[in-house]
Chain A
Amino acid sequence: MSAFPLPRLSLRFIPVWRRNLRVWRKIMVPSIMGNFGEPVLYLLAFGYGFGRLVGDLGELPYMVFLASGIVCSSAMYTASFEGMYSAYTRMSEQKTWDGMLGAPLNLDDIVLGEIIWAATKALFSAGAILVVAAVLGLISDLRALLALPVILLAGFCFGACAMIVTAVSRSYDFFLYYFTLAVTPMLLLSGVFFPLEQLPTAVAALAWALPLVHVVEIVRPLMTGAWPSQVPLHLSVILVYGLVGLTVATALLRRRLMR
């Protein structure tokens, strides 16, 4: 058996995904309220508070600029949280995965199901912000709907990366490193709060090597009434991070749990 076998993909991930959806539905009302409440707060506090100072960014009012950024960062945060804290709880504390392994499900199905679930939650929360943005008149036209599949892919990417961290984690404390060393820098460097052009070239180059900026580069034009450019390039970066994340996470988790 090779050290890093490829994940065996199968539709058997669906019952794993459906299990998580079923749990989510039980706490749907507070979940949805959270999905709406937080972004509204962010938009109002940052947009009105900060936006007054900043004024417009080129053609865009700051609120409009910010709304599209927050859609992307929320996808990243939601998928990362789900792939770490929630998935780790199911793996390690609740033994939900052990129960699944007693059924005709393989670890590969579970990992894929968890990552796609993380992507789904990213879609829920980013979708809620889209609705809020639309209500506040921060969206130009129906092109914004095309952001949704991009968000789903981004959620898969960040969920898969988070699953690697889960695979090597011995406790919840470990997740803080990933947030401090990866998620937060990505949030600050990827053009969510201010344009990338403000950064020194070297820092901007680093940002381009990370996935979040590529999500922003597609989603922002779609929400502000323009067509994004270099879409295949941006999508490829997001997809490669996602697939590498899935492969590495599956291999590490097999080594951890199927020994």
Chain B
Amino acid sequence: MDPLDPPSIPAPIAQAQGLVKRYDGRTVVDHIDLTVQPGECFGLLGPNGAGKTTTLRMLLGLTPPDEGALSVLGEPIPERAREARRRLGIVPQFDTLDPDFTVRENLHTYADYFGLKGRARRQRVEDLLRFASLESRRDAPISALSGGMKRRLTLARALINQPELVVLDEPTTGLDPQARHHIWQCLRGLLKSGTALILTTHYMEEAERLCDRLAIIDRGRVVAQDSPQSLIRTHIEPHVLELDGPTAMAWLDAQTGDLPARLWRMGDLALLYTLQAAPLTAALEQAGIRYLHRPANLEDVFMKLTGHELRD
């Protein structure tokens, strides 16, 4: 190989440039740029109403953007959305399983939408029943499934065409911890097999565990885009001290002069973000105040970048 050749950069699996969507004069997505590489897990993190779902819908060709350029799996969107959807899988925020069918019939019918036929279809349906651990419930109606089972079936359904990319809108919202861990396990398996994932979530833990890179979106704009570790490194002090209760608040109020920390306080709860924890912990120990010392995490970054006030 000619050493002067530039290293070959793989084409991005999804790319958005200057994406804009307005509803009735309100800008919901405001010039968003995103690049998702093959095989990576890319997260869209943001408060409710930040524009995550609208962005996903545009990526899938289900909502036409007002401005901007969009390509998914090399296909221009929305012009060739059908061709792109042939090669990707979708896990919507709310289940769209077919209540007129059993578990197996749901997969069978969905395979038909993709043009799968005969033995190939039967084989794929069997594989996915096993993947979703729903073999024993194959003939159960959808109404008889638990929330976790429905989510697993929805995920299995999204894999019917062996997609190169799976798009998930809040895949674990409303699930109990066991079901959530099971979904994460499935998603990690997909990543291992080279499938790229784009997911929206407002669970920081989910984003931190799964995503290689993520974009924090607020009011329709990307406010930061990087790996979870880099986001924590660049946007927030490494140490966090959590204080709560009236005694601690009284101690805080009594502090004259500048604290060697950035303070955020709401009611009886206070968070101290600091570069060096030792001076503060020493002072707290001396005053006999209970505190929790922990490393900064993605949630701290998220709250710093999107603000602490309530959304909705």
Contact = CB atoms under 8 A, between A and B. Distances in A.
B62 interface: yes
Given A100-B113, A258-B62, A94 B92 contact: no
B85 A103 contact: yes
Contacts of B83: 104
A99 B86 CA distance: 14
A19 interface: yes
Interface string B71-106: 000000000011101100110101111111100010
Interface of B: 23, 60, 62-64, 81-83, 85-86, 89-90, 92, 94-101, 105, 109-110, 112-115, 157-158
23 contacts: A15-B112, A15-B113, A18-B112, A19-B98, A19-B112, A19-B113, A22-B105, A94-B98, A95-B94, A95-B95, A96-B96, A98-B92, A98-B96, A99-B96, A99-B97, A100-B113, A102-B89, A102-B90, A104-B83, A104-B113, A105-B82, A258-B64, A259-B63
A259 B112 CA distance: 26
Contacts of B90: 102
B101 A102 contact: no
A1 interface: yes
Contacts of B60: 102
B92 A102 contact: yes
A106 interface: yes
Contact of A104 (B86, B98, B100): B86
A101 B95 CA distance: 13
Nearest to B158: A102
Interface in A1-57: 1, 15, 18-19, 22-23, 26
Contacts of A105: 82, 113
B110 A96 contact: no
A237 B112 CA distance: 35
Interface of A: 1, 15, 18-19, 22-23, 26, 94-96, 98-106, 258-259
B98 A96 contact: yes
Contacts of A103: 85, 110, 113-114
Given A1-B64, A103-B114, A104-B82, A22 B109 contact: yes
A178 B32 CA distance: 44
Given A22-B105, A104-B83, A104-B86, A99 B98 contact: yes
A96 B100 CA distance: 9
Contacts of B113: 15, 19, 100, 103-105
Nearest to B99: A94
A99 B101 contact: no
A94 B100 contact: yes
Contacts of A100: 113
Given A19-B109, A99-B157, 6 more contacts: A15-B109, A15-B112, A101-B62, A103-B85, A103-B114, A104-B82
Nearest to A106: B82
Contacts of B110: 99, 103
Given A15-B113, A18-B112, A99-B110, A104 B85 contact: yes
A248 B64 CA distance: 20
B94 A26 contact: no
Contact of B96 (A22, A102, A104, A259): A102
The 5 A-B residue pairs with the shortest CB-CB distance in the complex, in nearest-first order: A103-B113, A99-B96, A102-B90, A95-B96, A104-B86
B43 to A, nearest CB: 20
A23 B100 contact: yes
A19 B83 CA distance: 21
Nearest to B102: A26
B65 to A, nearest CB: 12
A199 to B, nearest CB: 43
A102 B115 CA distance: 14
Nearest to B160: A103
A1 B114 CA distance: 28
Contact of B100 (A26, A101, A258, A259): A26
Looking at B60, B100, B112, B158, which has the most chain A CB atoms within 10 Å of its CB?
A: B100
A102 B100 contact: no
Contacts of A95: 94-96
Contacts of A258: 62-64
Contacts of A259: 23, 63
A45 to B, nearest CB: 33
Contacts of A102: 60, 85, 89-90, 92, 96, 158
Given A258-B62, A258-B63, A104 B114 contact: yes
Contacts of A98: 92, 96
B117 to A, nearest CB: 11
Looking at A23, A94, A102, which has the most chain B CB atoms within 10 Å of its CB?
A: A102
B290 to A, nearest CB: 49
Contacts of A1: 64
A95 B62 CA distance: 14
